[in-house]
Structure formats: structure tokens, C-alpha cells
Amino acid sequence: MVFTLPWTLKNWDRWEEEKPAWFTDTWIDNVPNNYIPYDWRVKYNKTKGRVDDPKQRRRSSVQQVKMLMGGEAEK
């Protein structure tokens, strides 16, 4: 069985260099982390708040809702 890299992984470095008009922060924010090369995920994690684990992002928002409703935050 032959596996190929997703289109985004193959082209990400080029897009970062060329900065096409559609390659915006909004577009990048909608790309799942596993479709972004690891080195760039680390960059975005530091500069744009990206996280590697999507569950971590959800857990954070659930915690915020619980606190807003008067519940206690999980530890």
C-alpha cells in the first residue's frame, strides 16, 4: 500500500515563502493540525495560539462555560 502526503504538507513551505493571497491567518486557522507540518505547527502554537491536541482546545472552552455558569474548574 502506498501512502501519499496530504497536499498541504507537500506545499506548506512554498506557501509560507510565496504568501499567496488566499494563504491568510483565517485560512490557516481552519486547517486541521495534522495537515500542517510539525515545524510550522510549533511556530503557530507560539505565535497564533494553535494547539496540537484539538481536545485541549475543546476542554478549554468547556471549562470557560462551566466557570461562567458558576461551576468549579476541573484540575
**Position 12 in a domain:** yes
For residue 64, pLDDT beyond 70: no
**Position 1 in a domain:** no
The per-residue pLDDT for range 15-42, each reduced to its tens digit, is 999 999 999 888 888 888 888 898 888 8
**Position 18 in a domain:** yes
**Position 2 in a domain:** no
**Position 75 in a domain:** no
Look at the chain and report how many structural domains it folds into.
1
Q: What angle do CA 34, 40, 45 make, to 5 degrees?
A: 85
Q: Please, which pLDDT band fits residue 54 given cuts at 50, 70 and 90?
A: low
Q: Note down the domain range covering 12.
A: 7-68
User: Cα 33 vs. chain centroid, distance in angstroms?
Assistant: 4
